[in-house]
Every structure is written in C-alpha cells, then in structure tokens.
Amino acid sequence: AFDSISHVKLLSIFQSIGINNKSYKLFKSYLQNRKQQVQIGDTLSNELTITNRVPQGTVLSPILYIIYVAELGNLNIHGKLFSYADDTALIISETNWEKAYQYAESDMCIINEWFFKHNLRLNPNKTKFITFTQDKRTQPIISEIKIHKLCCIAKNKNDSCILIKKIDNIKYLGVVFDQYMKWDIQIKNLIIKMRKLNHFYINAKKVLDKSMLRMVYFAMTQSILQYGITAWGGLGIVAYNKLQTAQKSIIKIILNKPITYPSNELFKEMNVFNIKQLFYRNALYFTYKLNLINFKHTSHTTRRNNNKLIIPTLKTLKSSRYFAKVGLELLNNNIPSNILNCNSYTKYKHLIKIWLSNLQE
C-alpha cells in the first residue's frame, strides 16, 4: 500500500486540507524528483524517477499514508470502517443475513472504486470476510462476496469481478477472532508463545539477577499477555487456568520455585498480576477512559451511598464477560468509594493497582 501512493494525488490532498504556501512546498520538495537505483553485486541499474510511494524507513511515511487514505472514513457506506495504518476492517451489522450480504457487496464495491481512483489495489489474497454468530445453527451459507469492478454497470460481466472468500477465523492487529466469538485459537497461540519463552528464561537467569529478570518479564511476557486483553480477557475458568499455568511456569523458573509452590505466594513474591488481575485492570482503566461511570440515584439506603452505577443489561453469558460490564460491576460492588469518586485518572490508576494487588483469587 505504501508503494502505491501517488505523489500528485497526495499533494492535492494536502491542499484540500489546508496545507499551503511554505508547508506545501516543503512536502512537494520532499516527495518529488526522487530517484532510485538498484545494485546487484557490481552491477548498478539506471536511475529512475519515483512518481509513487512514500519514502520508507521514516516516521513521516505512516503519517503520509494515513493522510492519503483519510477520505475513506467519509465514504457514504452502510457499514463502519476501522483503520490502523494500512489494516482496514469493514463491519456490517444487520437484522438478517440477506441485508448484511447486500450491504457488504455494495460497500465493498464503493470502497474498491475509491481505491481504484486513488491508485490503490484491493488484494483478494489478503482480503477476507467472516460472519459472526452465537453458534453453528445461525451461521449463514455464504462462501464468497463478489466485488464488481467500478460497480460493473452491466453486472452480467462477472469474469473481472473480485471474489472475497469466507474464513472461520481471522487475525486482526495481532488478535485472533473466530466466527463464534470464542477465543480458543487466541488462547492457544498465547500459550505457545509463553511456552517458547521457558527456555529463554532458563538461560537468562544464569546471567541476570531477579530484578533484571522481572524487567525482562514485563517486556517479553506481560506485554504478550495483556495485548488485546480488553477484547478477549472475559474468559471462562478453564481458559484462565490454561493461561495462568503457562504464566506461572515462567515465574517459577525466574524465582527458582518448585512446581507445587502456591500461586498466591508466587505472584506476591514476583510482584506481578495474574491473568484475571490484568483483565480487571484494563477493564477498569477503559471503563474510566470511555467515561462509562454514570450514576443513577436509588431511593433505598445502601452501605456505601445512594448512588449506583448504570450497568448495561446483557442477556448471554458471553456478553456478561464484556469488559465494560465487568468493569462497572467491579466499581459498583467491590471497589472502595474513594476510587470510584476519584477525579484524577493518574490517581485512579494508582489506586486501582493497589486494590488489585490485594485482591485474592
């Protein structure tokens, strides 16, 4: 995608968003009249002027790309687009599969047409779609989505259409989603990553002391564990135990503890959070940041005060583990009022960490 950006179109976008005069000339000189050569052994190719692509290896390149594709968010489509750098997801939500399929086709047609006009190409090998349902009974019988090039005014010309294949799970931004919104594959991948680290820690503890190993743990283990945990962290007890077993295995190696060493003592000695505490922490942080802490007044007297938080009503067990509901229920029933009424996010995070540190399984 970065190689397909047209300098001419990018410069015209700069003008349309108000980048003019000296700033515009600066970007123009940065992009235009760039030349490139290729050397293989002692052979050097002729210089060629680059008319497309943003220079690679600079902090500016991703920003230029984001500016270039920002108009995608203004397209008149039914679904919602979510983008991170050059990864884009289209989400369609409807009351029945027939409507969802029709909107998916029409939206993808509009998006593909926009790509064509902006010198970008949709890669069918990397573009897939997935249908989310609660169980197998409600999964639709749809195997592909057809994208008509330039909306194929004569739709019987299907030979040039792009076919997007259906898959039952997809990895998006490092998190694996499956068609039933279960996290089995995500958890399996995490456990494999964790187990691969065991040998590393066995060797690392020969040259590093425990304080250094703890720093390495945060960088190489906890960072993996907590990535995307707000999405997948509302797990059942079986999945939690599997992950925590892999986590404890690493900590026991670092602290040189036997297999039977008590879990609570292990985490206290290492001074780190277990999986559930990491999920609670992130759920509570996001609940605060998303401004979901809204009160409703209750007439009856409670032990704490007359204010209770508004908690969404969710019907299924899976949705009851949604991070916002978990966070609000913790705030409503478990967390002291001095944290609940905290006005400073920095102080709130500090108090949450202290509270979680004292939380027993």
pLDDT for the residue 307: 53
pLDDT for the residue 270: 95
42 located within any domain: yes
Distance CA 269, CA 181 (A): 35
Where among 122, 154, 177 does a domain terminate?
177
Is the domain of 45 the same as that of 101? no
- Report how many domains make up the chain: 4
Is the domain of 189 the same as that of 163? no
| Across 273-292, average pLDDT | 85
Is the domain of 253 the same as that of 196? yes
CA 258, 280, 174 angle in degrees (round to 5)?
Answer: 85
Is the domain of 161 the same as that of 143? yes
The 3-state secondary structure of 314-335, one letter per residue = CCCHHHHCCHHHHHHHHHHHCC
Distance CA 78, CA 108 (A): 10
Q: Give 324's contacts (C-beta < 8 A, 6+ positions apart).
A: 283, 286, 287, 290, 292, 312
| Across 346-351, average pLDDT | 92
With a cut of 70, say whether residue 305 has pLDDT above it.
no
Please name which of 175, 146, 181, 176 lies closest in space to residue 161, comparing C-alpha atoms.
Answer: 146
311 compared with 151, residue with greater pLDDT: 311
Q: Tell me how far the alpha carbon of residue 122 is from its chain's centroid.
A: 21
With a cut of 60, say whether residue 299 has pLDDT above it.
no
83 compared with 201, residue with greater pLDDT: 201
pLDDT band at 334 (very low <50, low <70, confident <90, very high): confident
Highest-confidence segment of 27-41, 54-68, 70-84, 338-352: 70-84
pLDDT for the residue 33: 84
290 located within any domain: yes
| Across 2-27, average pLDDT | 88
214 compared with 335, residue with greater pLDDT: 214
With a cut of 70, say whether residue 129 has pLDDT above it.
yes
| The residue to which tokens 């009851």 are assigned | 320
Residue range(s) defining the domain that contains residue 249: 184-272
pLDDT for the residue 309: 58
With a cut of 80, say whether residue 350 has pLDDT above it.
yes
Is the domain of 326 the same as that of 288? yes
The 3-state secondary structure of the chain, one letter per residue = CHHHCEHHHHHHHHHHCCCCHHHHHHHHHHHCCEEECCEECCEECCCEEECECCCCCCCHHHHHHHHHHHHHHHCCCCCEEEEECCEEEEECCCCCHHHHHHHHHHHHHHHHHHHHHCCCCCCCCCCEECCCCCCHHHCCCCCEEEECHHHCCCCCCCCCCEEEEECCEEEECCEEEECCCCCHHHHHHHHHHHHHHHHHHHHHCCCCCHHHHHHHHHHHHHHHHHCCHHHHCCCCHHHHHHHHHHHHHHHHHHHCCCCCCCHHHHHHHHCCCCHHHHHHHHHHHHHHHCCCCCEEECCCCCCCCCEEECCCCCCCHHHHCCHHHHHHHHHHHCCCHHHHCCCCHHHHHHHHHHHHHCCCC
Please write the tens of the pLDDT for every residue from 115-125.
Answer: 888 888 888 88
pTM: 0.80
76 located within any domain: no
pLDDT > 70: percent of the chain: 86
pLDDT for the residue 134: 84
64 located within any domain: yes
pLDDT for the residue 297: 41
Of the chain, the end-to-end C-alpha distance in Å amounts to 47
With a cut of 70, say whether residue 9 has pLDDT above it.
yes
Highest-confidence segment of 79-83, 119-123, 332-336: 79-83
User: Could you tell me if 278 and 226 are in contact, meaning their C-beta atoms sit under 8 angstroms apart?
Assistant: yes
86 located within any domain: no
Where among 251, 272, 293 does a domain terminate?
272
| Across 48-70, average pLDDT | 84
Neighbour-count burial for 30-64, b at 16+ CB within 10 Å, e otherwise: ebeeeeeeeeeeeeeeeeeebeebbeeeeeeeeeb
Is the domain of 235 the same as that of 190? yes
Question: Tokens representing 149?
Answer: 């090039």
How distant, in Å, are the alpha carbons of 63, 137, 230, 296 from that of 344? 31, 47, 22, 21
75 located within any domain: no
Is the domain of 95 the same as that of 170? yes
Is the domain of 98 the same as that of 166? yes
With a cut of 50, say whether residue 73 has pLDDT above it.
yes
Please write the tens of the pLDDT for every residue from 199-221.
Answer: 999 999 999 999 999 999 999 99
Please write the tens of the pLDDT for every residue from 86-117.
Answer: 889 999 999 899 999 999 999 999 999 998 88
156 located within any domain: yes
Average pLDDT, the chain: 85
83 located within any domain: no
Is the domain of 122 the same as that of 198? no
348 compared with 331, residue with greater pLDDT: 348
CA 329, 332, 333 angle in degrees (round to 5)?
Answer: 85
Distance CA 254, CA 269 (A): 11
Is the domain of 6 the same as that of 30? yes
Please write the tens of the pLDDT for every residue from 32-48.
Answer: 888 888 899 999 999 88
With a cut of 80, say whether residue 55 has pLDDT above it.
no
pLDDT for the residue 105: 92
Please write the tens of the pLDDT for every residue from 228-282.
Answer: 998 898 888 899 999 999 999 999 999 999 999 999 899 999 999 999 899 989 8
Where among 122, 146, 177 does a domain terminate?
177
pLDDT for the residue 120: 87
